[in-house]
């Protein structure tokens, strides 16, 4: 088993419940064990702005799945929970991103790990820093990156936990 981090987000329907269901589906897979989940955060949309704010969190998992196998599982869960891809960065019932996988660097047409824009986004780094403040991202502690991003991007902790 290796450690991986998954970003979860939703801005359609009951977003906290969508995230809770995704975590259950992840944890029910024999190759995945959800270990820890940050609290929920509300964040302004990025890219396509004509949509509701998102609810986001990050989960630390242990997995025996390969990176490609885990990506396939994440995409399957998105589909099962009603994700429809119409507008890039547009509204969605669920968005699951493989952020980090066992410290590996992967650059394929299907998957880039570490996630290429994670250190630019408070909605990833703030919940990641909550559960792994000392994790190094491109030589910087997650907590340091999150602190900087919180000053420049709108993010609000809800105080709600889903796991």
Catalytic center residues: 83, 92, 95, 97
Distances (CA, A) of 64 to 10, 102, 126, 148, 158: 26, 11, 26, 34, 32
The radius of gyration of the chain from alpha carbons, rounded to an integer in Å, stands at: 14
- How far is C-alpha 132 from the chain's CA centre? 13
Q: Are 32 and 153 spatial neighbours (Cβ–Cβ below 8 Å)?
A: no
CA dihedral 153, 154, 159, 160 (to 10 degrees): -100
Please check whether residue 78 is in contact with residue 117, taking contact to mean a CB–CB distance below 8 angstroms.
no
């Amino acid at each position: 088993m290796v450690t991986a981090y998954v970003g979860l987000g939703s801005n359609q329907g009951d977003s906290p419940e969508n995230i809770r269901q995704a975590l259950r589906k992840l944890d029910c897979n024999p190759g995945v064990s959800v270990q820890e989940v940050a609290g929920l955060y509300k964040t302004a949309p990025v890219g396509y702005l004509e949509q509701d704010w998102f609810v986001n969190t990050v989960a630390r998992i242990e997995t025996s799945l390969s990176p490609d196998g885990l990506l396939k599982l994440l995409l399957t869960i998105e589909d099962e929970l009603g994700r429809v891809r119409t507008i890039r960065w547009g509204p969605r019932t669920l968005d699951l991103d493989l952020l980090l996988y066992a410290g590996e660097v992967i650059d394929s047409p299907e998957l880039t790990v570490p996630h290429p824009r994670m250190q630019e986004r408070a909605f990833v780094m703030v919940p990641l820093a909550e559960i792994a403040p000392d994790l190094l991202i491109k030589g910087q502690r997650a907590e340091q990156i999150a602190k900087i991003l919180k000053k420049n991007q709108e993010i609000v902790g809800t105080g709600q936990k889903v796991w």
